[in-house]
Amino acid sequence: MTAACIFMGGCSGGNGYFDEPVSKSDFLMDTYMTVTVYNGSSSAPEKALSRAGELEKKWSVTDSSSEIYAADHSGGKPVTLSEDTADLVSFALSMNEKTDGALDISLYPVLREWGFTTGEYRVPEDSRITELLESVGCEKLSLDGRDITVPDGMSIDLGSVGKGRAGDEMIKTLKENGVTSAMLDLGGNIQLLGSKPDGSDFRIAVRHPSGEGNLAKVEVSDCAVITSGGYERFFEQDGNIYWHILDPKTGCPAHSGVVSATVIGKSGTLCDALSTSLFVMGTERAADLWRASDDFDYILVTDDGRAVITEGIENSFTLYDEFSSMTVEVVRREK
């Protein structure tokens, strides 16, 4: 399904920027993607979306012609991947180690059992989750160069990193077409190329974990701002709410005390992976990982009503007026 294409202007002003931004949208990777450029080639948005479409065909877990589908249905035999796919799988495996298993691309059968991939929601029996978890674990996968072996009975899904990598590839495409100022809205994943045409930062809203309205804004340029929250996909049964972000160790919705995780950094791929991981890890483990790194910042909203942010965005983070009384804790390099 393709969304209506919206083009605004297209004539370049004397300063190299369009009189009006040029935008195009499409439905890819199970979400609406919108590319808005402020300069460069007016055909750049379409080319960027086309690149995302190429990657979706390789990474779809349900398309029988995709590389991931082939690996998942290989019966445990090696499958040769393209460079795009092998590189992303390699990244996901390294993030599994870095996050102590909080990010796990082999969790797909458990997500499917909960109905989060089909919309047919249900709470699985404990025995069924235990059975499925026997076939979960990135350490069981083998990646030798571009050859992957997915053991029989296992399945992988790149959904936790795919949109972020697609965004990075789309940014590359825009640069190749002369764009130096752009915004990508990939179903809530925001990726920015450069700054606004006037040189100022973009103002990006962070949604409230309730899913209704915005909690805060960050003023940033040339980076990704990616959020994972329970409000994105959930169901209610017998008075209990179950969300789609699962803890790979339990096979159940993660309850780490974090209800929303926003990650900000240069790499969309990294931010996508970490937004899920930090949600699972909780505030203490997230702080430890951040202190051991130098390539991202974060905003965590906790179930007791706090906002926990890292010092790198302290001066660019602002709560909206209706939430101005919320406690904001700043994580620093030195405790």
> Is residue 191 domain-shared with residue 240, that is, in the same domain?
no
Strands 306-310 and 297-302: antiparallel
> Is residue 186 domain-shared with residue 127, that is, in the same domain?
no
> Is residue 231 domain-shared with residue 332, that is, in the same domain?
yes
Compute the mean pLDDT over every residue in the chain, rounded to the nearest whole number. 93
* pLDDT, average across residues 246-272: 96
What's the burial of 34, exposed, middle or buried (CB within 10 Å: 0-12/13-18/19+)? middle
Tell me which amino acid residue 68 is. Answer: I
Q: In the structure, what pLDDT confidence band is assigned to residue 242 with cuts at 50, 70 and 90?
A: confident
> Is residue 191 domain-shared with residue 291, that is, in the same domain?
no
Q: Examine residue 91 and state whether it is found in any structural domain, yes or no.
A: yes
Phi, psi at residue 21, to the nearest 5°?
A: -60, 155
Which residues 6+ apart lie within 8 Å of 48 measured at CB? 35, 170, 171, 173, 174, 184
Q: In the structure, what pLDDT confidence band is assigned to residue 4 with cuts at 50, 70 and 90?
A: very low
Q: Examine residue 184 and state whether it is found in any structural domain, yes or no.
A: yes
Strands 224-229 and 202-207: unpaired
Q: Examine residue 292 and state whether it is found in any structural domain, yes or no.
A: yes
> Is residue 215 domain-shared with residue 326, that is, in the same domain?
yes
Q: What share of the chain in percent tops pLDDT 90?
A: 85
> Is residue 51 domain-shared with residue 94, that is, in the same domain?
no
CATH of the domain at 74: 1.10.3980.10
> Is residue 57 domain-shared with residue 69, that is, in the same domain?
no
**Containing structural domain, residue 95:** 62-149
> Is residue 172 domain-shared with residue 303, that is, in the same domain?
no
> Is residue 191 domain-shared with residue 236, that is, in the same domain?
no
CATH of the domain at 297: 3.10.520.10
Tens digits of residue pLDDT in 69-111:
999 999 999 999 999 999 999 999 999 999 999 999 999 999 9
> Is residue 68 domain-shared with residue 57, that is, in the same domain?
no
> Is residue 55 domain-shared with residue 66, that is, in the same domain?
no
Q: Examine residue 50 and state whether it is found in any structural domain, yes or no.
A: yes
> Is residue 32 domain-shared with residue 42, that is, in the same domain?
yes
Tens digits of residue pLDDT in 218-240:
999 999 999 998 777 778 888 88
Q: Examine residue 89 and state whether it is found in any structural domain, yes or no.
A: yes
Separation between Cα atoms, residue 137 and residue 107, nearest integer Å: 8
Domain count of the fold of the chain: 3
Q: Examine residue 154 and state whether it is found in any structural domain, yes or no.
A: no
